[in-house]
Structure 1
């Protein structure tokens, strides 16, 4: 199996150099490029075939969220570009987390995670799975729950239609109980 090709898009030199140094010694990972601002990062992603991009949210020029949005638009016109994006940031606010995923980020990591967790995030994201830092997972879970649970006034009625008349007769003679209806709605 070939190495996972990674690019680093990070404006803080010390962080970028540290990440590069740590990732270069990891078996199965190759650092294929780096950029220090959003504009350079977008150009790098559009011109370099890589597997995973580690993108900081707070980039100068265009921020990491805008970079992600623009890159996803680019990918729609270039299906050969299959790069996955991991947001790697110190910003764990609800707005930042949700905006990152809405922009198209595949995974979200806080910068204070350990190297083992970062390697796990890179490998899982490369494999097509989302990796969400436990420090922000509750934000994502809360958002999912709020989008699923609807007030009673907004619940939809689902009509069950059978293809065969005998099933319609069974339902007519033995109607669904309130509890069964509740289970079906869930």
Structure 2
């Protein structure tokens, strides 16, 4: 039986390219497409997929939020992040957040197919770039980027604060209290040795974590 793939990307041309790539494979089929996180969640509620291939940068609900919601709704469905951001920027944080693999969009098409097959077989997919990051982290753990010290939820709050969201907006989006968001903000600032939201934004821009 072919593995059912859900493609989530706000660019139709990207989804079309991935569909054409996967339709050439005898064991894979694109069973659904979504242009944003809200549409993806609606589809996953309606039907089961063997894997979701998810973009990070989308309007409205971004890939980080969508990943967390997909894990809550379908905890057994693996997610492969396919992003315009390089592995060095997001991969380690999102692997810790629960995705089963991370590839940048400039990956070779054969590697994308290989990653999907590997993840559908129940394994994580570690690209050469991610393997190098992991090796560097083991060799020099003190040199980890500050945002890599954050937990999955802290990273999610950090990304929203850096993008200009207020505590009230973040609380509404994540179904948390404003007090809880403020607590996460304090932890993020402490771990990253920063003082203000503006510092978080500057850090995120410097490390290409936001556009």
Fold agreement, TM-score > 0.5: yes
In structure 2, the CA distance between the partners of 1:146 and 1:66, relative to structure 1 (3 Å rule), is farther
| Corresponding residue of 2:97 | 103
Output the aligned Cα RMSD: 2.0
Structure 1 unaligned blocks of 5 or more: 77-81, 149-186
Structure 1: distance between partners of 2:72 and 2:119? 20
| Corresponding residue of 1:137 | 131
1:71-101 C-alpha deviation (Å, 9 max, x unpaired): 112235xxxxx31100001212544112211
Structure 2: distance between partners of 1:94 and 1:115? 20
Structure 2: distance between partners of 1:15 and 1:30? 16
| Corresponding residue of 2:205 | none
Q: CA deviation at 1:126?
A: 0.3
How many residues align? The count is 142
In structure 2, the CA distance between the partners of 1:43 and 1:25, relative to structure 1 (3 Å rule), is same
Q: 1:112 aligns with which of 106, 116, 120?
A: 106
In structure 2, the CA distance between the partners of 1:47 and 1:58, relative to structure 1 (3 Å rule), is same
Bigger-Rg structure (1/2) = 1
SS of structure 2 residue aligned to 1:54: strand
Structure 2 unaligned blocks of 5 or more: 143-211
| Corresponding residue of 2:65 | 66
The 5 Å alignment of 1:1-186 reads 2-76=1-75, 82-144=76-138
Structure 1: distance between partners of 2:31 and 2:92? 28
CA contact (8 A) 1:46 1:71 kept: no
TM-score of the superposed pair, with normalisation by structure 2: 0.61
Q: Which structure dedicates a bigger proportion of its chain to helix? A: 2
SS of structure 1 residue aligned to 2:29: strand
In structure 2, the CA distance between the partners of 1:36 and 1:142, relative to structure 1 (3 Å rule), is same
